[in-house]
Structure 1
Amino acid sequence: MAGEAVVTVRLVRSFEHRNFKPVVFHGVSLDQTVQDFINHDTLLTDIATRPGLPPPFRKYAYVFFFFWQTNELVMSLDDDDKLILQDGQTLRTAGVANETEVAFFRKEDYGLYKANPKTAW
């Protein structure tokens, strides 16, 4: 259907340990706002109830911040102004297209990692 896309959301549980899980969403309307995409029952309910997704990912308190997926393993730490998707923007206006990857994480975790971008294995 026109205006719908496949979007992969990387659920980032830990930046330091590079702990993330990709979750694929089909039939995403690109004409909805970023906030509507997050708050829509599909995204939050899916994360909480998706079979095969480990409980630490299902129960984590993600906040409403998305980034474009770049060639970083988890995400880029540069150009926050360009990479953070704004709540009032439609996904299309924000640049999301079919087969786009975005990250979903806690703002506090990102701030701590950005201040000291070290990884632990």
Structure 2
Amino acid sequence: MDDLDDTLTNLAKPLSSATITVRVVKSFQYRVAKALVINDLDLTNTTVGDLKERVKKAIQTQAGWKPYKSLQLDTLKLYTKAHGAKTTNLIINLENDEWILDDDTATLATVGFENETEVSFFNRSDYDGFKASPEIKWD
């Protein structure tokens, strides 16, 4: 047992080689989302806009994303960081609208990303509509 490393997972990898999870949201009402895990991402040089484009490209080129190809994805919002409190909503954090990443030129490190950060990627008008009337149609 002495070989166990006590390093927190968010500190286990440098910001220049982080692993993040992007929850691509198809439907808020039906809780439909698919996770895209990105490894070895340089958070110090990758911008919010770069991440959006990388995820859009993955959706268009990787297998298993066909139902997501026509989505108009335009907004990223932090979901949680490693060892942080999680929301009860399974696909997006409806609280903390200040976690919406509006500046496409900001680097991921400067907006708070670290290893094992989870972020939601969605259509902003769908989010605003769901937030105004958060009805779940499938439970």
TM over 0.5: yes
Partner of 1:51: 63
Q: Deviations over 1:60-119 (max 9, x none)?
A: 2211x11111422111222212x1123222101111111111000000100100110110
In 2, Cα distance between equivalents of 1:35 and 1:102: 14
Partner of 1:96: 113
Provide the secondary structure at the position in 2 that maps to 1:45: helix
Say if 1:49 and 1:58, in contact at 8 Å, map to a contact too: no
Provide the secondary structure at the position in 2 that maps to 1:88: coil
Give the residue type in structure 2 aligned to 1:6: T
Q: Which runs of 5+ in 2 are unaligned?
A: 1-12, 80-85
Give the residue type in structure 2 aligned to 1:30: L
Q: 4+ residue stretches of structure 1 with deviation over 4 A?
A: none
Partner of 2:21: 8
Partner of 1:116: 133
Q: Which has the larger radius of gyration?
A: 2
Say if 1:12 and 1:105, in contact at 8 Å, map to a contact too: yes
Provide the secondary structure at the position in 1 that maps to 2:105: coil
Give the residue type in structure 1 aligned to 2:42: S
In 2, Cα distance between equivalents of 1:5 and 1:52: 24
Give the residue type in structure 1 aligned to 2:68: F
Residues 1:17 and 2:27 are matched in the alignment:
no
Q: TM-score, normalised by structure 2?
A: 0.76
Q: TM-score, normalised by structure 1?
A: 0.86
Provide the secondary structure at the position in 2 that maps to 1:94: coil
Query: Residue 73 of structure 1 is aligned with which of 90, 96, 99?
Result: 90
Offset, 1:12: 0.2
Pairwise CA RMSD: 1.6
Say if 1:48 and 1:59, in contact at 8 Å, map to a contact too: no
Residues 1:84 and 2:100 are matched in the alignment:
yes
Give the residue type in structure 2 aligned to 1:37: L
In 1, Cα distance between equivalents of 2:63 and 2:123: 22
